[in-house]
Amino acid sequence: MVMTDRGLPEETRMMREVCRTFVDDFVTPFIRKNWQREWSMDPDERMPREILEQADRIGIRTLGVPEEFGGTPLDPKTEVRTFAMVAEEISRGDSGLGDKLVQIWRISSLLRNIAPRHLQERWFPRLVEDPGFLLAHCLTEPRGASDRWLPYDVPDAMMHTKAVPKGDRWVINGRKQFITNGYDAKLYVVYATTRPGAGMTKGTSSFLVPRDTPGLSVARCNETLGGRFMNSGEIVFEDCAVPQDHLLVENHALSKAGIYFRPGKIIVAAKNLGVGMAAFERTADYVQNYVQGGRILIKHQAVALRLADMATKLAAVRAMLNEAMRAIDAAAPDADALCNMVKLFASEEVFKVCQHAIELHGGNGIMLDFGVEKLLRDASLFLHRDATVDISKFKIVKAMFPETAGVYAGPEK
């Protein structure tokens, strides 16, 4: 299936080629050779540091970091598209690695927009210097994950994690769950209630919390169905005291986090597309080389029909992704709806593509060492991440009909 780079500047197309080479030469060979490592119950034994070091050498690990601190420079006009393109290519090799790197990009973009200058000067150089430096965004809690994504802006839905000022510190208590990079991150953006009863958009603050802060502990690594080369974590805060100057946004943190959330939907859809492209490419190769019934598989009509369906679904996801990116660049009024639409659409269509891939590989499709079943497992996560399918549909309706859509929680106003 030929990819098209219509509308991309030459610099971005060159970056795509660099990423493809990185995936083909380093990521895919590692995943295929070391498929057992995905199932290690020691999170530190899964993705080797060498992969992140190679990503650092080609300049894709520090996308989003300001150039003055050593980050990879990007044109602001095409930044989201570049993030999406790189996320697709990396996830074509492994979605877990895509998750690791995407969080660095997204959180770096957030911090350069909302973090005080002294925090940028302190942390961006450390991030750039250490190829193993990971970032985590601590929003989701054991209860009320979907509340955060809609959001339900009623007092009962506020975060259970709380922060209170004490002297020259903010003291945080609570628990965060399903946190990307949470198990091995070195720096966390943490959201907590600071004005109880005010509603999430008026009473939630964000803080920058280093991993070695007393009172912060990693309770466990979440053992997931797919994306297992990224170590999701559960984080506990017990009288975790951070300096006053590590407050990022007071009370209105969710409103200020749009730079993280809106492009995030685009990047999640792009990662999802990368998984779908891997499924299609491997299946296309398989059916053109595997013989059954005296002929290669692609010559069987049933196989040809499924392959055409896979290609069509992926082309439709790519078209919607491009449309959503154009809407963001143009600050169009339908950008929010389109971002949620493409995240939703990609999650459902790519899952179907991966299901076709499993079935077209026959018995090989369900063999762990063959590696195709991994793509279906990886694709399944996208039905839940960055909002479930149903919550995404609620957000689409609220974006289209803000005056009449339901509030979905609490009393109607």
CATH architecture of 10-133: Orthogonal Bundle (1.10)
Q: Would you state the structure tokens that stand for residue 127, as one six-digit string? A: 């991030």
3-class SS of residue 163: strand
**Closest by Cα among 190, 181, 42, 189 to 99:** 181
Give span(s): CATH 2.40.110.10, the chain.
136-255
The predicted model gives 269-290 an average pLDDT of: 98
* 147 pLDDT tier (thresholds 50, 70, 90): low
The predicted model gives 190-204 an average pLDDT of: 94
pLDDT(3) > 60: no
Helix axes 372-381, 95-114, angle to 10 degrees: 30
The amino acid at residue 239 is D
- Whole-angstrom CA distances from 5 to 2, 16, 53, 82, 88 are 10, 9, 28, 11, 13
Q: Are 354 and 280 in contact (CB under 8 A)?
A: no
Q: Are 260 and 107 in contact (CB under 8 A)?
A: yes
What is the C-alpha separation between 279 and 233, in angstroms, rounded? 28
CATH architecture of 257-400: Up-down Bundle (1.20)
Reported in sequence order, the residue ranges of 266-337 that DSSP labels E, i.e. its strands, are 291-292, 295-296
* 148 pLDDT tier (thresholds 50, 70, 90): low
* 413 pLDDT tier (thresholds 50, 70, 90): low
Q: What angle do CA 68, 53, 210 make, to 5 degrees?
A: 65
Kindly indicate whether the domain formed by 136-255 is annotated with CATH number 2.40.110.10.
yes
What is the C-alpha separation between 177 and 140, in angstroms, rounded? 6
pLDDT(410) > 70: no
**Closest by Cα among 153, 146, 222, 227 to 193:** 153
Report phi then psi at 94, rounded to 5. Answer: -165, 125
Q: Would you state the structure tokens that stand for residue 281, as one six-digit string? A: 């490419």
What is the C-alpha separation between 142 and 140, in angstroms, rounded? 7
pLDDT digits (tens, 9 = 90+) for 214-225: 999 999 999 999
pTM listed for this prediction: 0.95
Q: Verify cis geometry, omega within 30 degrees of 0, for the bond prior to 263.
A: no
Q: Are 93 and 32 in contact (CB under 8 A)?
A: no
Give span(s): CATH 1.10.540.10, the chain.
10-133
Q: What is the dihedral of CA 282, 284, 289, 292, to 10 degrees?
A: 110
Reported in sequence order, the residue ranges of 116-260 that DSSP labels E, i.e. its strands, are 135-138, 162-166, 169-179, 187-193, 204-210, 216-221, 233-243, 247-249
Q: Would you state the structure tokens that stand for residue 15, as one six-digit string? A: 């970056």
What is the C-alpha separation between 296 and 299, in angstroms, rounded? 6
What does the chain come to in residues? 413
| Sign of the CA dihedral running 150, 153, 158, 164 | positive
The predicted model gives 159-170 an average pLDDT of: 96
pLDDT digits (tens, 9 = 90+) for 40-87: 999 999 999 999 999 999 999 999 999 999 999 888 888 888 999 999
What percentage of the chain's residues is helix, strand, coil (to nearest 5)?
55, 15, 30
pLDDT of residue 412: 61
Q: Which residues of 168-184 are buried (b: 16+ CB within 10 A; e: fewer)?
A: ebbbbbbbbbbbbbbbb
